[in-house]
Amino acid sequence: MKLLEEKILAEGKALNEDILKVDSFINHKVDAELMMAIGQDFAEHFKDQGVTKVVTIESSGIAPAVMTAYCMQIPLVIMKKQPSKILNKNLLQTEVASFTKGTSYELTISAEQISEDDHVLIIDDFLANGEAATGAIRLLRMAHATVAGLGILIEKSFQPGREKLMDQGIHVYSLARIAKLGENLIEFVEE
Ligand code: G4P
């Protein structure tokens, strides 16, 4: 997606060879207009897949996911990283390890919000090692739902996430695919 690639080049900062900082439009301040364009792009791409719900993982996936759900006129369900004290009935949980942050968390969803009739589009901001998306897929399968695909804003193609998900038969659609990061260097995959 040209618009997102231009924004990454204009405002993204490669902190090192692994991490791209995008705090000024995705992770901290949010560019709502860009998020709407992203939602429209995902809605167009997945329009014939029979998607019944959009799912994301809190927190940075929420903005693009809500726009996608709005454009597709279907609900959004947000997977939590810890069980809430009020949300405690029929919980499905799975542990997800984050290589980037060196932590792990219990990804959680209420079985009341997803059913076996659901065909789910997962949306997230980054695809790195694919652990978060794999955890989300595990939870959806625990709920007996099916996965329509995965929509990603920024894929770090030099990390193994895409292969890991494609090996599980998941259709991965990324709006910006980064081939290389370095000091003053952001290179996209040539398509
Ligand atoms: P994975 O799910 O693909 O395996 O990725 P990983 O666990 O390594 O990533 C953990 C967290 O780090 C995720 O955010 C992910 O979005 C973020 N992340 C990974 N690579 C980058 C990067 O290059 N730049 C930025 N800005 N973030 C990156 P999270 O913990 O879920 O946080 P949030 O959604 O609350 O922001």
Query: Looking at the chain, which runs of residues are DSSP E strands?
Result: 13-14, 20-21, 53-57, 76-79, 91-98, 103-110, 119-127, 146-156, 172-182, 185-188
Q: Is the pTM of this model over 0.85?
A: yes
How far does residue 72's CA lie from ligand 1's centre (Å)? 25
- Ligand 1 atom having least distance to the Cα of 23: 26
Of 139, 179, 172, nearest to 157 by C-alpha is 179
Pocket test residue of 15, 59, 98 for ligand 1, highest count of atoms within 8 A of CB:
98
Q: How many CB atoms lie within 10 A of CB 156?
A: 24
Distance from C-alpha of 146 to C-alpha of 36, rounded to nearest angstrom: 26
pLDDT per residue as tens digits for the range 110-168: 999 999 999 999 999 999 999 999 999 999 999 999 999 999 999 999 999 999 999 99
Alpha carbon nearest to ligand 1 atom 15, residue: 126
Query: In order of start, what are the domains of the chain with their CATH numbers?
Result: 2-188 (3.40.50.2020)
Pocket test residue of 60, 100, 180 for ligand 1, highest count of atoms within 8 A of CB:
100
Burial class of residue 70, CB neighbours in 10 A (0-12, 13-18, 19+): middle
Q: What was the pLDDT predicted at 109? A: 95
pLDDT per residue as tens digits for the range 69-119: 999 999 999 999 986 666 667 899 999 998 877 899 999 999 999 999 999
Pocket test residue of 126, 158, 168 for ligand 1, highest count of atoms within 8 A of CB:
126
- Ligand 1 atom having least distance to the Cα of 127: 3
* β-bridge partners, 154: 126, 176
Q: What was the pLDDT predicted at 88? A: 67
Report whether 42 contacts 36 (CB < 8 A). no
